[in-house]
Amino acid sequence: MKKLSLVICVYNEEENVLPLAGQIQDALKNYDFEAIFVDDGSSDKTREQIRQINDPRFILVELRKNYGQSSALQAGIDAAQGEYIVTLDGDLQNDPNDIPLMLEKSEKDDFDVVAGIRENRQDGMFFRKIPSKIANSVIRKTTNVKIKDYGCTLKLFRNDIAKNIKIYGELHRFIPVLVALEGGSITQMNVKHHARIFGKSKYGLNRTMKVVSDLLVMLFLKKYLQKPMHLFGGLGGIIIFVGVLINIYLLVLKIGGHDIWGKPLLLVGVMFLIAGLQLITFGLLAEVMMRTYFESQNKKPYRVRKIEKVG
């Protein structure tokens, strides 16, 4: 098995491919590695540039169309054969010279994942740095996974942990949370960051709503994946309780001779009761689905890191 597998997702990066390949060759000349370029449906000459590298250690995974970074990362991880898997951007902003240091840190301190922190980040302040700082802070506080820089693609994984996480939709920015769900140990280190020279960024403020919606998914997976009834049943119980209080109040009014028919509060009370029952029903269905998910595929609701003799 190769020591390192590099996964590099590219989309319209024709000017960056060959310089990046040269940087990788120089940085990892003393390592056994493979570098997997995943072309995510580029419309320029990115694939042609990859084919010009002329090094058997470099592999092209060509996707049929543009699926997005999460799917491209998953395709690269699925194809990787290395003992360690490294993800990095294809725009020359990550520095391959940081990879040996990350590998050394993982091996020395026995961490499953080493996540990069972009030191002296070379990006625009208003459109990149400020939104990123806000997003990082919100994700840290809501998920309780204390990663300083969620947006840094440069990360090193042990093969088993990388293969066990599944990156669906747009969850690539939440990879540390996915690793935490698998019980993986994570550390961080500063890495170099360079200004983009060729091409243009594929990211902007339009990602904000995607981050918010994906964050809700991650919160559910982290807190309620194995106990969905705690979420739906808890909310349903609160709503039913409020509905019951409203209806008791209206009953008292009715006994006192007041006309309650047609009052908006009556409709609110009935709606709260119905909504609460629906949420509890959703919770029961989700519980059945979770048991089907685990038991039909012989999945375990836990991960064993290692078993060793101590005597």
What's the mean pLDDT in 129-144? 70
Say which residue, 38 or 183, is predicted with more confidence.
38
Per-residue pLDDT, 311: 47
Q: What is the mean pLDDT of residues 211-232?
A: 71
The residue extents of the domains of the chain are 4-224, 228-296
Determine the average pLDDT of the residues in 101-121.
Answer: 89
pLDDT score for 102 = 95
User: Which of these ranges, 92-106, 134-148, 294-308, has the smallest mean pLDDT?
Assistant: 294-308
Residue range 91-118: average pLDDT? Answer: 92
Please say if the pLDDT value at position 34 is more than 90: yes
Q: Among the listed ranges 85-94, 123-132, 250-259, 272-281, which one has the minimum average pLDDT value? A: 123-132
* % of the chain surpassing 90 pLDDT: 36
Topology, domain 4-224: Spore Coat Polysaccharide Biosynthesis Protein SpsA; Chain A (3.90.550)
Q: What is the pLDDT of residues 160-187, one digit of tens each?
A: 999 988 887 677 878 888 888 778 899 9
pTM score of the predicted model: 0.72
SS (H, E, C) the chain: CCCEEEEEEECCCCCCHHHHHHHHHHHCCCCCEEEEEEECCCCCCHHHHHHCCCCCCEEEEECCCCCCHHHHHHHHHHHCCCCEEEEEECCCCECHHHHHHHHHHHHHHCCCEEEEEEECCCCCHHHHHHHHHHHHHHHHHHHCCCCCCCCCCCEEEEHHHHHHCCCCCCHHHHHHHHHHHCCCCEEEEEEEECCCCCCCCCCCHHHHHHHHHHHHHHHHHHHHCCCHHHHHHHHHHHHHHHHHHHHHHHHHHHHCCCCCCCCHHHHHHHHHHHHHHHHHHHHHHHHHHHHHHHHHCCCCCCCCCCCCCCC
